[in-house]
Structure 1
Amino acid sequence: MRKDPRDLRILDPAAGSGHFLLYCFDLLLAIYEEAWARQDGAPSYGPTGQTLHADYPTLEALRRAVPALILRHNLYAVDIDPRARQICALALWLRAQRAYQMHGLKRDERTMIDRVNAVCAEPMPGDAALLAEFAATLEPPVLGQLVRGLFERMRLAGEAGSLLRIEADLRGAIAEAKRQWRERPTYMQAGLFGDEPLTIEQVGLFDVRAISDEQFWDHTEGMVLAALQRYAERAEDGLGYRRRLFADDAASGFAFVDLCRQRYDVVLMNPPFGAASKGWKAAFEQAYPRTKNDLYAAFVERGLALLHPGGMLGAITSRTGFFLTSFQKWREEILLKAGRPTIVADLGYGVLDTAMVETAAYVLEKNDG
């Protein structure tokens, strides 16, 4: 099914300086113009229901808008190195300026680039005291507990990067809090005839006593993320600096969480390979039991999970996963079950400038199941 180009999302989960996304930028320039020219039966943009041609009646109007549209809607990057993230964002911004120049648009005719979705996977800013002070202001109290839990989990982001399943952690914590809320009569009855109020330890992990309506749980994830964004921006302001290249980007820690919650049409990668770092090793092996023998295998598993059904993953990695017995689960359960290979090229040596490793390039289509 065709999509409006503004609904396409492409992610590089280990982006470095963004080479893959620069190639994607050039391809998207052509995709936008082809979609604009196809007026009959053109798909509409999800949030507005408008077609590309309706929003940009002339080709000149489209060309003024497209570079900013690509950076705002289409391209997403994650890296654990803040310098690499900055270089990636700058490279994409410069590529947008070149597109404007290519169409002869002067500076005052160009749409302002105010957002680049290049995120550094890093812990949330601030410290424990600031977090505790902020969390204490949140009502009901379970929101503060969820925010603190997510904050603690984010401490691994600098080592785990995109492999940190932060969105699954949040949903799991909310599900556990909801379970405790549904079972609350059990522990509430224990304090009916006592003189002392129930402690949090008596209640359980989450303080859900102030919640009276089950509909609260339908909106909990959004409330936690909104609170996390407020905290992140407050913490960064308090530190006296901004880890943002453009004015309306979210703070880095929150932006990483938000990026992990989305689903993508394409994931492209040349991920790191080898063993996990010591600080992340135990959590890594627990999170990726099928692919824990090598980081690149886990990145492929994670990349497929981040795709829409039918989405495409493209990777250049070591070729060892295609024949070593230690990668049997990766081949059987990831390549052939979670995905479906469409192209495989055995490239050998000489492809990666910085690593003497035999490589393979391949494309997987995510299965619908």
Structure 2
Amino acid sequence: MDKKIISKFAIDSHLELVEAVRLRLAVLGITEEAISSPLPESTQQAEFFPQLNGEPLTGDDILRRRKIVAHLSEVSSKGNSHFEDFVEEVAYTWFNRILAIRFMEVNDYLPSGTRVLSSTEGKSEPDILVYANDLEQELGGYSKDDHKLIEAAWETQSPSTMDRLYQILFMKQIKILSKQLPQVFEPLDDYMQLLFVPSYHQGFIPELVRSIPEASFDLDNDDSHGQVQLIGWLYQYYNTDQKTKAIEQPKSHKFRGTEIASATQIFTPDWIVRYMLQNSVGKLWIKSLLAKGDSRSETEIAEHFQWQYYMPEAAQPDDVQLLIDVKDGQLSDLRPEQLTILDPSMGSGHMLVYAFDLLMQIYLDQGYSQRITATNIIQNNLFGLDLDKRATQLASFSVMMKLRHYDRRALIKGNLPKLFTVNSFGDLTTDQLELAYPEVTEKQKNAFRSAITVFTNANVTGSLTEIGNLDIAPLAGLFELNQATIASGDLSERVGQLINICQILAKKYEVVVTNPPYMGSSRMDDTLANFAKKHYPNAKADLFAMFLEHFQESVVPGGYCAMVTMQSWMFLSSFESLRQTLLAKYTISNLMHMENNVMGIAFGTAVTITRNASLTNFIGTYHQIKTSDVASGKIPSHVPIAGNRYNRTNQANFGKIAGNPISYWISPAVIAAFDAMPVSNYGKVKSGIMVNSGFLKQWYEVPAPEIIQNARQQADIKGFSWVPINSGGGYMR
């Protein structure tokens, strides 16, 4: 996979699509500055605008334009940045859907079995255009006008007529897919047809087909690692411009919801994802096998599954091993269906997709069939949340494609992954609820109001939203009520999302795994900053630290939490209280400390895998990855890496050092030094002579004869003007 090509394609595509949407809106008389009114010669059947050069809008297009204007006016009335956000949303809608369709056509997953973006016969027109006459049933039927357009397009082969036909066929395919993959191909607002800007013969679509090899999309191509890395990198690179704009804002600028998503997107390299899941989900399953009586060692079981980054636990003191045996013994009844996994900041779904692969290994090893396993994983094992709707769409798509890979009928069965976007539900009211569910009880309405209040600021708090003592049971009961025919699909879907998100946030998991957003408190707006101070006083300095603290509580006793975060929590004084709490309540099983740029970002990071158990004197495994280990695209084949820092140590040792730094590399001799009697027991430690800087000179500023060099007492200074003084100078990092 050539990331330079992927980067250029995604960045160029973003700029192209955004500009195309902006130009299309301008042609419709809609700009950021003003919205044009129809010219006087307009009628009910035809509306004229100066920008259309005499060509009127007719029929449904008149209504579509009015819907665009109404949508922008509504958003603007709420004080939001409306126009640019709308342009970005439309552009990404086409990017997202076309990327998904490309993946599906390469793997022959499209319901029609016909390519939408490319030709299997090397023609310049996509197969959906070439075989339009044969696809009426597969695309949901044609109207008389559709038949006329197909005939006219191929008779004249006029570029504008062919483009119009392609747009109609494309939208018909989207409509079919929205029924099978509603989380990805959400039913489009009707006005989106008026803003269809991609072209099959120039720009984004042919460039996608030309520049990125089909093998990169092919799930059966082992070298590509499936679609996971490709979709993840495309998503990150597409957001490059938005991320740059957000980060380059003045330090005083506070990020709002959409900016938080753009500014904090960091794709986790595949080998790090594997390390995290093999040493959390994998470790828990290996422990359950040993508890069931498996005679193999940890290493032998890991080798059986080909988990190349798995690190067996160190030999433990007898008293610690006794505690571990008791806790691990409770895993003897653990079944694959019970291995629940949450990614609370899932991004494009990279961790969830590898979790799918790892779970597939576990199920198959227990004798399950592939098809049953794939369905079980979707229904029982995987859960995900994100602040960014676009990320949720891609994550859902990635997981569903895994399901489809193992079950050919998956897309028509209606099984959907439990992946959701956490946001505000302020658009919902109890009046709407009563219309949708006539049998709703007063208790359910009260629970509904409480839930809506809880998510008031969820556009910025996301997965960290505190649901407290919210009574979820009455909400879940809404699923069992009959819906009124007046209830729209959108309302039912929104209520369902609210209930599902509440249930996910309330649930405990065997494993939580994620790469949380990294954002310091200086970028938090008042809402998020006050939320952080109230709920996370020990972690308020950064979003990642808030995730690190919060989601330890979402793990069942004996389960694992695996996060890749900035390394700063390990050392900085601002996180000292957080370290003390984590070390007191949880046990560090593994910590992989990574130098700058190992993750492709210019600061150090760390994978921390903790167990929800307080195991005093547990010997954890700590090791280092250097920048040189991943230089020029290298990928570590195993861990630990010879020559790098590596230690197996008791986390209680960190408490012996002032500030509790996670100094895993220090030797037993250094630790012993901290066990010794402190200097303060021998006397008071003072800073020494403090002199006003106005009386200080550099050596070269004073004549040498005026300096006394070896004064032992005050009398020695007589006759000299200057006395040497040791001073460390100003503060330096």
TM range (shorter): 0.5 to 0.7
The 1:124/1:63 distance shift into structure 2, 3 A limit, reads same
Q: Who is 2:672 aligned against?
A: none
Q: Does 1:308 align with 2:308?
A: no
Q: Who is 1:35 aligned against?
A: 366
Q: Who is 1:291 aligned against?
A: 539
Structure 2: tracts of 5 or more residues without a match: 1-330, 616-733
Q: Does 1:114 align with 2:415?
A: yes
The 1:321/1:132 distance shift into structure 2, 3 A limit, reads same
The 1:226/1:125 distance shift into structure 2, 3 A limit, reads farther
Deviations for 1:73-110, whole angstroms, at most 9, x for unmatched residues? 1111100111110110100111222344xxxxxx3599
Please state how far the C-alpha of 1:242 moved relative to its aligned partner.
7.3
Please state how far the C-alpha of 1:297 moved relative to its aligned partner.
1.1
Q: Who is 2:473 aligned against?
A: 222
Q: Who is 2:79 aligned against?
A: none
The 8 Å contact of residues 15 and 269 in structure 1, kept in 2 or not, is answered as: yes
Q: Does 1:26 align with 2:327?
A: no
Q: Does 1:343 align with 2:590?
A: yes
The 1:283/1:137 distance shift into structure 2, 3 A limit, reads farther
Structure 2: how far apart are the matches of 1:345 and 1:82?
31
Structure 2: how far apart are the matches of 1:362 and 1:254?
31
For residue 304 of structure 1, give the secondary structure of its aligned residue in structure 2: coil
The 1:136/1:331 distance shift into structure 2, 3 A limit, reads farther
Q: Who is 2:470 aligned against?
A: 170
The 8 Å contact of residues 587 and 614 in structure 2, kept in 1 or not, is answered as: no
The 1:367/1:32 distance shift into structure 2, 3 A limit, reads same
Structure 2: how far apart are the matches of 1:283 and 1:130?
30
Q: Residue 359 of structure 1 aligns to which amino acid in structure 2?
A: T
Q: Map 1:271-286; keep pairs closer than 5 Å.
A: 271-274=516-519, 275=521, 276-286=524-534
Deviations for 1:231-282, whole angstroms, at most 9, x for unmatched residues? 9x88x954747759xxxxx722221101112110011111012234433321
Please report the RMSD computed on the Cα atoms of aligned residues, expressed in angstroms.
3.1
Higher strand share: 1
Match of 2:511 among 243, 266, 291: 266
Identity value in percent: 23
Q: Residue 385 of structure 2 aligns to which amino acid in structure 1?
A: V
Q: Does 1:155 align with 2:456?
A: yes
The 1:126/1:28 distance shift into structure 2, 3 A limit, reads same
Q: Who is 2:391 aligned against?
A: 84
Q: Residue 554 of structure 2 aligns to which amino acid in structure 1?
A: L
Q: Report 1 or 2 for greater relative contact order, CA contacts < 8 Å, sequence distance ≥ 6.
A: 1
For residue 86 of structure 1, give the secondary structure of its aligned residue in structure 2: helix
Q: Who is 1:326 aligned against?
A: 574
Structure 1: how far apart are the matches of 2:473 and 2:354?
34
Q: Does 1:11 align with 2:311?
A: no
The 1:240/1:149 distance shift into structure 2, 3 A limit, reads closer
Deviations for 1:5-58, whole angstroms, at most 9, x for unmatched residues? 01110010100011011111111111001223xxxxxxxxxxxxxxxxxxxxxx
Structure 1: how far apart are the matches of 2:428 and 2:439?
16
Structure 2: how far apart are the matches of 1:358 and 1:122?
31
Match of 1:352 among 593, 599, 604: 599
Q: Residue 161 of structure 1 aligns to which amino acid in structure 2?
A: G
Structure 1: how far apart are the matches of 2:561 and 2:456?
28
Structure 1: how far apart are the matches of 2:427 and 2:606?
42
The 1:238/1:310 distance shift into structure 2, 3 A limit, reads same
Q: Does 1:69 align with 2:376?
A: yes
Structure 1: how far apart are the matches of 2:516 and 2:374?
27
Q: Residue 362 of structure 2 aligns to which amino acid in structure 1?
A: I
The 1:73/1:328 distance shift into structure 2, 3 A limit, reads same
Give the greater-gyration-radius structure (CA). Answer: 2
Q: Who is 1:363 aligned against?
A: 609
Please state how far the C-alpha of 1:127 moved relative to its aligned partner.
3.7
Q: Residue 397 of structure 2 aligns to which amino acid in structure 1?
A: L
The 1:81/1:230 distance shift into structure 2, 3 A limit, reads farther
Please state how far the C-alpha of 1:68 moved relative to its aligned partner.
1.3
